[in-house]
């Protein structure tokens, strides 16, 4: 099996809880309902839910979530 095979990652993948999905939807609505931001909303929701700072190379994409509870990690 190739290391890139979906099966080799299945034990590492986590599902999205209903609470995280609902939080992502609230973030999506609160930040302008931009289709391109859907994944960012899920990432921000998960970080907020875990009370974990988010370290990203694309901090600009996530600044809109800071006022909604997201903590951005500083390098």
Domain definitions of the chain by residue range: 16-68
Note the pLDDT tens digit of each residue in 48-69: 999 999 999 999 999 999 999 9
**Does residue 44 carry a pLDDT above 90?**
yes
The number of residues in the chain equals: 75
pLDDT of residue 53: 97
Token digits of residue 9: 């990652």
CA dihedral sign, ordered 12, 75, 62, 22: positive
**Does residue 10 carry a pLDDT above 90?**
no
DSSP 2-54: -TT-HHHHTTT--PPPHHHHHHHHHHHHHTT--GGGHHHHHHHHHHHHTT-PB
pLDDT of residue 6: 56
């Amino acid at each position: 099996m190739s290391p890139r095979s979906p099966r080799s990652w299945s034990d590492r993948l986590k599902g999205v809880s209903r609470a995280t999905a609902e939080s992502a939807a609230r973030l999506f609505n609160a930040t302008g309902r931009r289709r391109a931001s859907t994944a960012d909303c899920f990432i921000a929701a998960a970080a907020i839910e875990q009370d974990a700072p988010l370290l990203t190379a694309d901090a600009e994409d996530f600044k809109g979530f800071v006022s909604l509870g997201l903590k951005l990690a500083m390098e």
